Amino acid sequence: EIVLTQSPGTLSLSPGERATLSCRASQSVSSNYLAWYQQKPSQAPRLLIYGASSRATGIPDRFSGSGSGTDFTLTISRLEPEDFAVYYCQQYGSSLTFGGGTKVEIK
């Protein structure tokens, strides 16, 4: 099973700042099959990024994904108030596993 480790656990930033979230896999993710989700309290997760770097329908371009192999990054270029949430990565190259999440909180 591929284990995904997300860091940091919590990111404290102000609106307008840049957020950089990391997702590291225990082994190479086949075909860069890596997705990112956003989850707000009491809501279902929302797909942001798939295939490591492709934005899902309706996702603002301030969200971008990058990386390959074992190291992946989600970048939010300028944080909006509605972006404060928990973010999860998920690999789907070898079965299905999720990372433990990164909470982006208001500083």
Partner 1 sequence: EVQLLESGGGLVQPGGSLRLSCAASGFSFSSYGMSWVRQAPGKGLEWVSAISGSGGSTYYADSVKGRFTISRDNSKNTLNLQMNSLRAEDTAVYYCARGDEYCSSTSCYFDYWGQGTLVTVSS
- Alpha carbons 30 and 32: distance in angstroms, whole number: 5
Site residues (CB under 8 A) for partner 1, limited to 52-91 = 56-57, 88, 90
Of 14 and 44, CB closest to partner 1: 44
Q: Does 22 bind partner 1 (CB under 8 A)?
A: no
- Alpha carbons 62 and 76: distance in angstroms, whole number: 5
Token pair, residue 56, equals 């899902």
Q: Does 100 bind partner 1 (CB under 8 A)?
A: yes
Q: Which of 24, 46, 55, 62 binds partner 1 (CB under 8 A)?
A: 46
Q: Which of 13, 28, 45, 53 binds partner 1 (CB under 8 A)?
A: 45
